[in-house]
Amino acid sequence: MPILPLDSGRYGSKEIREIFDDIRKLDYQLRFEAEVARAQGELGIIPERASKEIAQVANSNRISLKRIKELESISDHDTAAFVEAIAEECSEMAKPWVHYGLTSSDIVDTSTSLQIRDSIRIIENKLLRLARVLADRAVQYKDLPAVGRTHGQHASVIAFGLKFAVWASEIVRHLERIDEGKKRFLVCKTLGVVGTGSVMDKLALEVQRVVANRLGLFPVDAATQVVPRERYAEAQFFFALVGTTLDRIAVEIRNLQRTEIGEVSEHFKRGQMGSSAVPVKRNPIKSERVSSLSRLLRALVGVAMENVSLWHERDLSNSANERFTIPMTVVLLDEMLNLMTNVLINLEINNERIISNLRMTNGQIYAEFVLDQLIKKGIPRFDAYRDIQRVAFSAIENRQSFLDAIQNDPELRKHLTSEELVNIFEPGKHLAASSSIIENITKMVSEAQLKYAHPP
């Protein structure tokens, strides 16, 4: 019976969950043992006949989870049971050479790298898809003036599409970080009990290089019995950082969907219920779910950090929690990417409300441009600033438009012509470099697709 939501399939796609199921994990471990045996045979460390037989057995589909569990019930050691299951299928000649010079952590850590590697391929494609959706939205709304808010207050005019471009640029940076970090956390280890290469002696590094190359990994440069856990902590931090950007997007959508703002809303399908008690509600539940999962994703980084400080050449204080933290991190991020991409593809944007909110302050959103015009006429910045502030606060008290207040103020009116004021109070004239920024980000996304995309 499923206990955790991950067990029931509630979160994450089938393709990402399968990477961490027991059958796929066994496949990774068997491939590792096969490649180590092959490399050892080719380098003359173990008899070539034995190496070929071990590789053949590992690839034969004769090693079952059922048998491994039976052996584990006796040895109380899952990796030892795995090795014994392989040895059972080998001839007397080959048995002594199964798992030669290795330790359990060599299998576990290298298999974990393979899981992360295959997860990243899926994650990268989904990041690219999200980046493209964001870039397309940015282009779609590049000419729509909207309120730019700081401290929750109206600050100045932005292009509504700029919001999407900023998020798209973050996604591309995440792709860059993950790609650059692969050489640090997608590592292969075959160096045995305390990281010396032990019985493989001077050929140990060559075995590791060959195996790493065949598995599409990087040979670890130095290790104890285990791969240093700062490598996994970095990978989990990168994943959590992606999740935090998704949270940032979700928070903005949630805020813009508030009744008082109403500029966007998540798609509400036919028959959907927003509240069991209030029939009219349309809640941003998918964005809220992204925010909720992001908190858990960030919390898992703390556990990964704790795992870095192991005793001497290793202890087991990391082992149990990593069975949770690494799969959970990847599956939750996959779920968040699926959710946020779906939200953004179907996001409903209320142009009329965006324009209405731009007018909400009766023109005071153009104060920055009034100040700029006065500075260009030689008025000292803080003299101009104080005059504009005085007029603006008075306009609020008198429920007067900012434009009328300026036109009725002798001090400001003598510096500003009617034509200049008309231009200042035209929102479309204040999008500045927005189009260029959006164009640059769109190009960046296209380049990222060429660089990071994986074939399906």
Distance of CA 240 to the CA centre of its chain: 6
Specify whether 131 is located in the same domain as 233: yes
Domain contains 455: no
454 is catalytic: no
Average pLDDT over residues 311-320: 95
Domain contains 199: no
Specify whether 353 is located in the same domain as 375: no
Specify whether 255 is located in the same domain as 297: yes
Buried b (16+ CB within 10 A) or exposed e, 129-147: bbbbbbbbbbbebbebbbb
For residues 204 and 196, the answer to whether their CB atoms sit within 8 Å is yes
C-alpha 40/C-alpha 50 separation (Å) is 10
Q: Is the pLDDT of residue 279 over 70?
A: no
For residue 119, give the CATH number of its domain. Answer: 1.20.200.10
Q: Is the pLDDT of residue 224 over 80?
A: yes
pLDDT at 1: 67
Average pLDDT over residues 34-62: 97
Domain contains 432: no
Tell me how many domains the chain contains. 3
Catalytic-labelled residue, pool 151, 276, 312, 418: 151
77 is catalytic: no
Confidence band, pLDDT 50/70/90 cuts, at residue 4: confident
pLDDT at 334: 97
Specify whether 47 is located in the same domain as 68: yes
Specify whether 174 is located in the same domain as 74: no
Specify whether 310 is located in the same domain as 241: yes
Q: Is the pLDDT of residue 89 over 60?
A: yes
Read off the pTM: 0.94
Bridge partners of 348?
A: 265
110-137 pLDDT per residue, tens: 999 999 999 999 999 999 999 999 999 9
Q: Is the pLDDT of residue 397 over 60?
A: yes
Confidence band, pLDDT 50/70/90 cuts, at residue 370: very high
C-alpha 346/C-alpha 331 separation (Å) is 23
pLDDT at 296: 97
| Parent domain of 158 | 104-194+223-357
User: Which of the pair, 277 or 299, is modelled with greater confidence?
Assistant: 299
Specify whether 111 is located in the same domain as 227: yes
Catalytic-labelled residue, pool 8, 64, 275, 394: 275
Q: What phi, psi does 264 have (nearest 5°)? A: -140, 165
Give the strand pairing for 153-159 and 145-150.
antiparallel
C-alpha 446/C-alpha 139 separation (Å) is 13
For residue 397, give the CATH number of its domain. Answer: 1.10.40.30
90-103 pLDDT per residue, tens: 999 999 999 999 99
Domain limit, last residue, from 330, 357, 384? 357
pLDDT at 2: 74
166-196 pLDDT per residue, tens: 999 999 999 999 999 999 999 999 999 999 9
Domain contains 310: yes
Average pLDDT over residues 40-54: 97
Residue among 311, 309, 250 nearest 285 (CA): 250
Domain contains 429: no
Average pLDDT over residues 418-428: 94
Q: Is the pLDDT of residue 270 over 90?
A: no
User: Which of the pair, 406 or 272, is modelled with greater confidence?
Assistant: 406
Domain contains 232: yes
Total residue length of the chain: 456
Bridge partners of 188?
A: 219
Specify whether 257 is located in the same domain as 374: no
